[in-house]
Amino acid sequence: MVLLPLLTGNFAFSQEQRVITDSMYSFVSDSAPGLIHINPASLHYVSHEEQKVNFGVVTGRWCYIVFKVPPIASDDYVMSVDNTSIDSVVLFRMNAGGTLHRSYLGGNLIPYNRHRKYVWHIQPIARSEMEGYYLAAFQDQGRNINVGYKILTTDSLDRLYSGFERLIWFYLGIAFIVFVIVTTGWLIFNNMALIYYALYILCVTAWLVEHYGYLYPMVYPDFPELNAIIKPLTILGALLFFCRLIATLFPRLLKEDKISTVLLRSVFGSGLFLLLTVLAYPFLPKVSPVPAWFNVIWNGFFGVSFVVILLIVIRLFGKSIVARWFTLALGLIVLMSIQQILSNSGFFYSPILNDHGMLLASIAEIGILTFAVFKKTGDDKNYLTLQVAKLEDEHYRTLAELIMVQDNERKRIAAELHDSIGPMLAAIKINFQRLVRVNMKNQDPGALVEKTEDIIDSSMMEIRNIAHQLMPKELVAKGLAGSLSDYIRDLREIYQIPIRFKHSITTISDRHLQLNLYRIMCELILNAAKHSKASCITAMIDNTMKCITATVDDNGCGFEPEQVETSSLGLKNIRSRIEYLKGDLKISSVPGQGTQVLITIPQKVELPN
């Protein structure tokens, strides 16, 4: 409210006394302006300080105002009619005998004259030493004919008009800045609520510009037929996008409140149906009562829908702080709408609020809604981040449980191999040697015994290696590097393949990290030894302050990583362990050119308990 006088530059003028004390006489008639006869001298004139006449909803008839203007010694005076939403506006000069001379023709049904200086309807007031008479005729179909007029000098009119234009451009600047901010937010957050809000701002802005009469001359001056549907379209568009905005911002709350969900869907569905009706209106015959019913229906629908949406927001009031901000924003529009109704009815009149109340309320609404929408978008992003973190935590806990189960099972199998099968094979070996000595005294058992002993020794070594891999007891005593060195030494003897092991490990204190890294390296080196047909295998581990890097290279036959990873249980287990450690696995392999596996694991990993 403080900014308004600075922007319009007409506050002082709006508060000063009128230079001309005019008087007027208003009436409604079935006769058109060209057929009506008026004797201005016989009429009873009254003075209206507010310079405003409200005829109400008049369909199919003409509304008239006869102005009596005192003698004027200058040609600088004009009469301005500022209602730009009326279908037909005709202004006449009239002599004392009632003869009419038309000086202006305009309205929503008349193509716009591009040479007009003002969007308002302007009638020059001629210099006269006697009282002058002027006639204004208005007609509309199904809308309230509420006429505001002013009689003032051209300089005063220019200042007043410039103030209106500055205010309109001020609002457009705010709307443009908010629109850019909202669309940028959509590109950043990828939230459809911001798109619906941006479209809502466009519709509200179009409605306000049309309300002030600027959209018609700027956009479609040669197609006045659009004037009948522009306001309904913009209001319906704002309503539909606002419904989508609420549905997108409060999905969880609406899911819990079935009544609000039904109401919101009813408004949105009815709005879509009415939108088709609005688009069909230009093709309907413009004879009574079609225009009147059209205006009554869409005005009634808008009023009911606005109340329903306000009720929905109020129902969500106690469940969300953002819903409270929405309620405040809509409440401002409700209060200003009530003020406009009271002003049109003559109960309350304020020049500034009457001329600019809806625009001021819209500026406040946009500011509040922008804050609320971005707050809700930020809250949703934080909620989504928490949900993702929760899912990741659950995922890592599942991996931990899976690995724990695997380790327990490996421990059980290792114990059974060591405690059961190992002694049995040893006993077989002893008994077999005794049997040979008893039953084969007359033959040379050397070759058979030596071969059998080699098989049994190899079996026992394999069992020992499997047990060592399943549950390495030396890991705690010798550490990761020592345990891997022992394991690689055993693999060299078994597979007769040169396996080189290099490392820069100083210390890895985390038990989970040691154990899982040991499992991963053992699995990778064993796979290379068994399947690569390589002549040389190299394993390396580098330990830095930030991460652990491990590689296993071979010059063997290679493979297609995509095909093997889908079928290899070992690689799946390796990838699960690396994912559990929040690391990264890269496999580079080409058939016939060997394989390289690169593993990167953070040094400090926060693992779930």
In this predicted structure, the answer to whether residue 596 has a pLDDT above a threshold of 60 is: yes
Final residue of a structural domain among 392, 414, 430: 392
What CATH number does the domain containing 59 carry?
2.60.40.2380
Q: What angle do CA 547, 485, 552 make, to 5 degrees?
A: 50
- Examine the domain organization and report whether 151 and 170 are in the same domain: no
Q: Sign of torsion, CA 375 377 382 386? A: positive
Contact between 27 and 44 (Cβ < 8 Å): no
What CATH number does the domain containing 200 carry?
1.20.1070
Q: Measuring CA to CA, which residue among 97, 31, 92 is closest to residue 63?
A: 31
* Eight-state DSSP code of residue 468: H
Instruction: Confirm whether 79 is domain-assigned.
Output: yes
CA atoms within 13 Å, Cβ hemisphere of 600: 6
- Examine the domain organization and report whether 132 and 184 are in the same domain: no
- Examine the domain organization and report whether 197 and 284 are in the same domain: yes
Residues of the chain above pLDDT 90, percent:
28
When pLDDT is cut at 50, 70 and 90, the band that residue 200 belongs to is: very high
Identify the bridge partners of residue 92 per DSSP, sorted by sequence position: 102, 135
Instruction: Confirm whether 464 is domain-assigned.
Output: no
- Examine the domain organization and report whether 110 and 236 are in the same domain: no
264-314 residue pLDDT tens: 999 999 999 888 888 787 777 766 677 777 777 888 888 899 889 989 999
Instruction: Confirm whether 534 is domain-assigned.
Output: yes
Give the domain range for residue 554. Answer: 488-609
Average the pLDDT over 429-442 and give the result: 63
Q: What is the pLDDT of residue 435?
A: 61
- Examine the domain organization and report whether 284 and 375 are in the same domain: yes
Residue by residue, DSSP assigns 146-204 as EEEEEEEEHHHHHHHHHHHHHHHHHHHHHHHHHHHHHHHHHHHH--HHHHHHHHHHHHH
- Examine the domain organization and report whether 169 and 283 are in the same domain: yes
In this predicted structure, the answer to whether residue 350 has a pLDDT above a threshold of 60 is: yes
- Examine the domain organization and report whether 76 and 186 are in the same domain: no
In this predicted structure, the answer to whether residue 259 has a pLDDT above a threshold of 80 is: yes
Most confident region among 16-25, 42-51, 306-315, 430-439 by mean pLDDT: 306-315
Weakest-pLDDT range from 198-207, 330-339, 501-510: 501-510
Contact between 278 and 232 (Cβ < 8 Å): yes
Q: What is the pLDDT of residue 567?
A: 62
360-407 residue pLDDT tens: 999 999 999 999 999 988 888 887 778 777 777 777 777 776 677 667
- Examine the domain organization and report whether 246 and 379 are in the same domain: yes
What CATH number does the domain containing 550 carry?
3.30.565.10
Weakest-pLDDT range from 169-173, 320-324, 398-402: 398-402
28-40 residue pLDDT tens: 999 999 888 889 9
Instruction: Confirm whether 359 is domain-assigned.
Output: yes
In this predicted structure, the answer to whether residue 241 has a pLDDT above a threshold of 90 is: yes
Q: Sign of torsion, CA 574 579 580 583? A: positive
Instruction: Confirm whether 445 is domain-assigned.
Output: no
Most confident region among 43-52, 324-333, 597-606 by mean pLDDT: 324-333
**What is the pTM (predicted TM-score) of this model?**
0.66
Final residue of a structural domain among 392, 414, 429: 392
Instruction: Confirm whether 370 is domain-assigned.
Output: yes
- Examine the domain organization and report whether 134 and 250 are in the same domain: no
Instruction: Confirm whether 75 is domain-assigned.
Output: yes
- Higher-scoring residue by pLDDT: 326, 141: 326
Which residue is listed with tokens 């549905």? 247
- Examine the domain organization and report whether 167 and 127 are in the same domain: no
Residue 587 phi, psi (nearest 5): -115, 120
- Examine the domain organization and report whether 192 and 67 are in the same domain: no
- Examine the domain organization and report whether 326 and 340 are in the same domain: yes
**Based on the structure, what is the number of domains in the chain?**
3
Final residue of a structural domain among 392, 408, 424: 392
- Supply the mean pLDDT for the chain: 82
Instruction: Confirm whether 12 is domain-assigned.
Output: no
